[in-house]
């Protein structure tokens, strides 16, 4: 069977993760001599990048077409197969410093694009009709009594000719949704909207046929136009949020190097890798599929999977998970069936269960609509009955007043209130490095009263840093670093970083899981675990933990290097500032207790737990939810993914595992946690603006509705009231932009 | 009022022209890469590798 999309998402291609090999599997052969390939270029940020990439590739012989899209960060390539191949082109892109990863455009669900375009077309038609009908209506209004009935009738007929087809076409999104709601015996905002539009156009047609004075064609189409603007903005924001996340993660196609029974290797998309196949994983690569090690001995960095900050060794028979990094030596793994008892299967199961709970949240606007729609219907019906039965006018006059009520109460302002705030807010967050992924994430964030952090990679940088540099002599450090330069092990890298620029030792041997050795000036020099350096437990000064390295030279006492996973630079400040805002802070980590305790102490977090399995984290979050807490979960590891999905709202850093980023509502970039504070500020501000907008809309209704009920509303008043309330709400929402500018000053 | 016979069709025709132009631009992908197009004008190489659209 094929791998699940989540398994595919688990593997994140980095700078050296064999992008060229991956790409070969996704090249499309075209008629003639050509081939084409779609790539995602992650770090293409500006026009200069586009220019550099296009210019470089155009310079390569055999390239037929290069087109970079800055908005979607995609690159389309077409080339002549006889002259050049995919890996050369990708190497050329890498040569100018860009990371390109292939993706499969045919897996892209284009429904969303289609729906977007359909809304945009409907909006264009409604806009055209609104402008032209308004042109005719203004003539009728300003003509007043001086206008001959024949001319007026002619204008009304012309309006009908424009408005009716426009309503039939542009109203469809609302009619369809209202029909679906009614069929499931529910009411949504689209029911009164559809009623108002259909009744207004129907009644106006009736009046036009009888040669009457007041026709509401302009109101009907203007209503549709305003509402379609709101709906399009809402839609576009959701699509943008989803696509940004999806394109960079789920759609990033990844390939595996499969070893055939004849011993030949070939590259194939991981969806095509079957259980039982053997996959080769080079040192430094991410493991593409779940499996069992069948050949080789290595060390695996599973920090994204389990939250453990230190690498673990893996040998024949050990299980390894997609997404972890093979640090030391090449291995061969045998793919497991996806439904086996793997950690991944457990996490996927937990996530699915958690997401079902999440779906219960009802957005502010919908909560409002639930109250609003019945009231509107009741008012309109009461107006009709009041005029028809009590006052005793003809049925069509009574119906006309009821239609006026429907038009006046129609939630134009409401339909715009939320989307405009959302668009402005997400734009502002995006500029500050926070990607809003779920459309209602901001609303939920504003209600949060407690934050649960993960440790590794969230509060900490997720990589070890040398802590006892002062105790070690510079000579030892330089010697150790010269060996460490040959290794990709996280501790070696930390050592090199601490030592700075220096020479690299020659002919360094690496024994996976133990350490490094080299002959320097005729001496045997070893760097690695205590056992590797020939020490027994009795000779050790302190209990040996994984976060130590030893340097041993012939005849010299061994030197110890200690490492710790360092806190993010602004973690202390951010946690303090969040606490001062009245938020409670807790820590849930999958790491060892003795690694969690110092972090909790440094941040003054009393409520902390270590050695949590994924289901422990979910259980804790559910317990908190049962107490009525609204929890923001911040985490990065695969082991946090179920907890991220289970929390009231969730955030993860952009270094997180792909599944976690997919599960999170917010993704923040950069080394700091400061953007969390910003997200909180924006969320609260937009909630306030949305509530203000609701208030404005209500105030407008309390003035206009009585006028409509007593029959004082003419088409002119309806048109003015509708446009002005929409304008006021939109302008109020734009204030979010102003506060951003103030903050920058 | 006879001038209306010319003016109204003229107004509607112009409106439809605008609508048609918008629908065409939507279909032709003019809105696919809003950020890139803004920068493209600054590139000074005008060779023929990228086909004209």
Residue A252 CA to residue A99 CA, distance in Å, equals 12
State chain A's mean pLDDT as an integer.
80
| Burial class of A653 by CB neighbour count within 10 A (0 to 12, 13 to 18, 19+) | buried
The H-or-E segment that residue A524 falls in is: strand A523-528
More confident site: A651 or B34: A651
Q: What is the mean pLDDT of residues A429-457?
A: 85
Mean pLDDT for A626-642 is 87
> Quick one: chain A helix, strand, coil %, rounded to 5?
55, 15, 30
What gap in Å lies between CA A316 and CA A586, rounded to an integer?
Answer: 39
* Min distance A430 CA to chain B CA atoms (Å): 15
Q: Is the CB of A64 less than 8 angstroms away from the CB of B49?
A: yes
B contacts of A162 (beta carbons < 8 Å): 12
DSSP strand pairing (A649-653 vs A666-668): parallel
Tokens of A399: 């119906």
Q: What's phi and psi for A189, nearest 5 deg?
A: -60, -25
Known catalytic residues of A are 454
Helix (H, G, I), strand (E, B) or coil at A37: strand
What pLDDT score does A544 carry?
Answer: 45
Please write the tens of the pLDDT for every residue from A159-182.
999 999 999 999 998 998 888 888
Q: Per residue in A71-128, pLDDT tens?
A: 777 788 888 888 888 888 888 888 877 877 776 655 555 556 677 788 889 999 999 9
Query: What does the pLDDT read at residue A702?
Result: 85
Domains and CATH numbers, chain A: 1-107 (3.30.70.100), 421-461+568-684 (3.40.50.1000), 463-565 (3.40.1110.10)
Distance CA B19, CA B15 (A): 6
Percent of chain A clearing pLDDT 90 (strictly above): 10
pLDDT digits (tens, 9 = 90+) for A546-592: 577 888 887 777 888 888 778 888 888 999 999 999 899 999 988 88
pLDDT of residue A105: 59
**How big is chain B by its Cα radius of gyration, in Å?**
19
Question: Among A194-208, A240-254, A562-576, A611-625, whose mean pLDDT is lowest?
Answer: A240-254
Mean pLDDT of A716-738: 83
Q: How far apart are CA A607 and CA A733, in angstroms?
A: 39
Between helix A149-170 and helix A111-143 the angle, nearest 10°, is: 170
CB contact under 8 A, A58 and B50: yes
Please give the pLDDT value at position A165: 94
Chain A interface, mutation test: which of B35, B40, B44, most A Cβ atoms within 10 Å?
B35
The conformational region for residue A93 under phi > 0 = left, psi -120 to 50 = alpha, else beta, is alpha
Mean local confidence (pLDDT), A430-446? 82
CB B36 to CB A120 under 8 A? no
User: What's the Cα-to-Cα distance from A50 to each of A35, A57, B33, rounded to whole Å?
Assistant: 21, 11, 12
Q: Among partner residues B23, B42, B50, which is closest to A65 by beta-carbon distance?
A: B50
Greater pLDDT, A453 or A370:
A453
Instruction: Supply φ then ψ for residue A564, to 5 degrees.
Output: -145, 150
Query: Does the beta carbon of B43 lie under 8 angstroms from any beta carbon of chain A?
Result: yes
> What pLDDT does A337 receive?
63
Q: Which of A49-53, A225-229, A502-506, A516-520 has the highest mean pLDDT?
A: A225-229
Q: How far is CA B6 from CA A97, A130, A201, B2, B11, in A?
A: 62, 21, 27, 8, 9
In tens, the pLDDT along A303-315 reads 766 666 677 778 8
Interchain contact A120–B (C-beta under 8 A): yes
CA A176 to chain centre: 28
Residue B15: which of A55, A68, A132 has the nearest Cβ?
Answer: A132
Contacts of A72 in chain B (CB under 8 A): 32-33
Q: Which residues neighbour A361 within 8 Å (Cβ) at sequence distance 6 or greater?
A: A440, A444, A648
Distance CA A72, CA A248 (A): 10
Give the containing element (helix H, strand E) for A314: strand A312-314
For residues A192 and A400, what is the distance between their CA atoms, to the nearest angstrom?
16
Tell whether B47 is within 8 A of chain A (Cβ): yes
Whether the predicted pLDDT of A350 surpasses 60: yes
Does the beta-carbon distance from B26 to A120 stay under 8 Å? Answer: yes
**A51 interface with B at CB cutoff 8 Å:** yes
pLDDT band with cut points at 50, 70 and 90 for residue A275: confident
Given a cut of 60, whether residue A338 has pLDDT beyond it is: no
Residue A586: the pLDDT is 92
Q: What is the pLDDT of residue A113?
A: 67
The residue ranking higher by pLDDT, A333 or A351, is A333
**Side-by-side strand order, sheet with A325-326:** A312-314, A298-301, A325-326
> What backbone torsions phi and psi does residue A166 show, to the nearest 5 degrees?
-65, -45
pLDDT at residue A540, as a whole number: 57
Distance from CA of B44 to the nearest CA of A (A): 9
pLDDT at A7 (0 to 100): 35
Query: Do the beta carbons of residue A499 and residue A481 sit within 8 Å?
Result: yes
Q: How far is CA A498 from the centre of its chain?
A: 35
Q: Do residue A69 and residue B36 have CB atoms under 8 angstroms apart?
A: yes
Whether A67 contacts chain B with CB within 8 A = yes
B39 touches chain A (CB under 8 A): yes
Looking at beta carbons, which residues of chain A come within 8 Å of B1?
151
């Amino acid at each position: 069977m094929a791998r699940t999309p989540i398994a595919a998402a688990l593997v994140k291609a980095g700078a050296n993760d064999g992008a060229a090999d991956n790409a070969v599997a996704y090249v499309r052969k075209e008629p003639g001599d050509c081939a084409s390939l779609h790539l995602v270029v992650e770090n293409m940020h500006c026009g200069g990048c586009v220019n550099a990439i296009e210019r470089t590739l155009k310079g390569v012989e055999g390239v037929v077409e290069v087109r970079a899209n800055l908005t979607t960060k995609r690159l389309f390539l077409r080339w002549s197969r006889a002259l050049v191949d995919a890996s050369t082109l990708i190497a050329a892109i890498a040569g100018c410093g860009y990371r390109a990863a292939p993706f499969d455009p045919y897996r892209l669900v284009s429904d969303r694009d289609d729906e977007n375009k359909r809304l945009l077309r409907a909006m264009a038609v409604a806009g055209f009709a609104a402008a032209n009908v308004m042109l005719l209506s203004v003539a009728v209004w300003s003509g007043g009594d001086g206008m001959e009935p024949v001319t007026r009738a002619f204008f009304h007929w012309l309006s009908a000719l424009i408005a009716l087809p426009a309503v039939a076409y542009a109203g469809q999104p609302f009619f369809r949704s209202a029909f679906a709601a009614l069929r499931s015996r529910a009411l949504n905002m689209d029911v009164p909207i559809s009623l108002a539009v259909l009744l207004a156009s129907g009644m106006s047609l009736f009046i036009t046929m009888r040669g009457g004075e007041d026709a509401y064609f302009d109101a009907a189409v203007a209503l549709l136009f305003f509402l379609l603007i709101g709906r399009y903005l809402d839609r576009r924001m959701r699509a943008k949020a989803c696509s940004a996340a999806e394109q960079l993660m789920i759609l990033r196609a990844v390939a595996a190097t499969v070893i055939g029974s004849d011993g030949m290797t070939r590259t194939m998309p991981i969806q095509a890798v079957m259980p039982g196949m053997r996959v080769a994983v080079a040192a430094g690569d991410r493991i593409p599929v779940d499996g069992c090690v069948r050949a080789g001995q290595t060390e695996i960095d599973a920090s994204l999977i389990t939250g453990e900050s230190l690498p673990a060794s893996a040998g024949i028979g050990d299980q390894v998970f997609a997404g972890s990094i093979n640090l030391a030596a090449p291995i061969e793994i045998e793919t497991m069936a996806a439904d086996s008892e793997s950690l991944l299967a457990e996490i996927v199961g937990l996530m699915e269960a958690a997401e079902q709970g999440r779906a219960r949240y009802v957005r502010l606007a919908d909560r409002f609509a639930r109250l609003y729609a019945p009231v509107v219907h009741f008012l309109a019906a009461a107006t009709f009955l009041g005029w028809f039965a009590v006052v005793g006018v003809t049925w069509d006059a009574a119906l006309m007043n009821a239609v006026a009520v429907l038009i006046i109460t129609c939630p134009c302002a409401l339909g715009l209130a939320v989307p405009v705030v959302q668009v402005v807010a997400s734009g502002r967050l995006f500029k500050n490095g926070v990607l809003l992924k779920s459309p209602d994430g901001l609303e939920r964030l504003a209600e949060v009263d407690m934050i649960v952090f993960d440790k590794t990679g969230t509060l900490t940088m997720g990589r070890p840093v040398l802590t006892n540099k002062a105790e070690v002599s510079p000579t030892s450090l330089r010697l150790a670093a010269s060996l460490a330069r040959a290794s990709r092990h996280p501790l070696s890298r930390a050592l090199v970083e601490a030592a700075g620029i220096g020479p690299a030792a020659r002919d360094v041997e690496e024994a996976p899981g133990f350490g490094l050795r080299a002959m320097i000036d005729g001496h045997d020099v070893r760097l690695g675990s205590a056992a590797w350096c020939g020490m027994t437990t009795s000779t050790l000064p302190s209990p040996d933990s994984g976060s130590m390295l030893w340097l041993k030279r012939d005849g010299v006492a061994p030197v110890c290097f200690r490492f710790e996973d360092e806190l993010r630079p602004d973690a202390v400040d951010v946690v303090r500032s969040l606490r001062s805002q009245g938020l409670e802070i807790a820590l849930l980590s999958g790491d060892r207790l003795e690694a969690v305790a110092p972090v909790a102490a440094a941040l003054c977090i009393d409520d902390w737990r270590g050695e949590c399995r994924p289901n422990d984290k979910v259980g804790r979050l559910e317990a908190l939810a049962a107490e009525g807490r609204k929890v923001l979960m911040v985490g990065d590891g695969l082991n946090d993914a179920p907890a991220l999905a289970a929390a009231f709202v969730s955030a993860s850093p952009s270094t997180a595992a792909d599944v976690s980023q997919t599960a999170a509502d917010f993704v923040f970039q950069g080394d700091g946690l400061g953007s969390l504070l910003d997200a909180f500020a924006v969320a609260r501000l937009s909630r306030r603006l949305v509530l203000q907008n609701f208030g404005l809309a209500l105030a407008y209704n309390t003035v206009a509705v009585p006028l409509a009920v007593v029959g004082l509303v003419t088409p002119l008043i309806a048109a003015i009231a509708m446009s002005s309330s929409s304008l006021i709400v939109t302008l109020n929402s734009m204030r979010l932009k102003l506060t951003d500018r103030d903050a920058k000053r | 009022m006879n001038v209306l016979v010319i003016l109204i069709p003229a107004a509607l025709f112009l409106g439809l022209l605008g609508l048609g132009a918008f629908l065409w631009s939507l279909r032709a992908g003019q809105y696919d890469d809003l950020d890139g197009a803004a920068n493209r004008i600054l590139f000074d190489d005008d060779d023929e590798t990228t086909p004209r659209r």
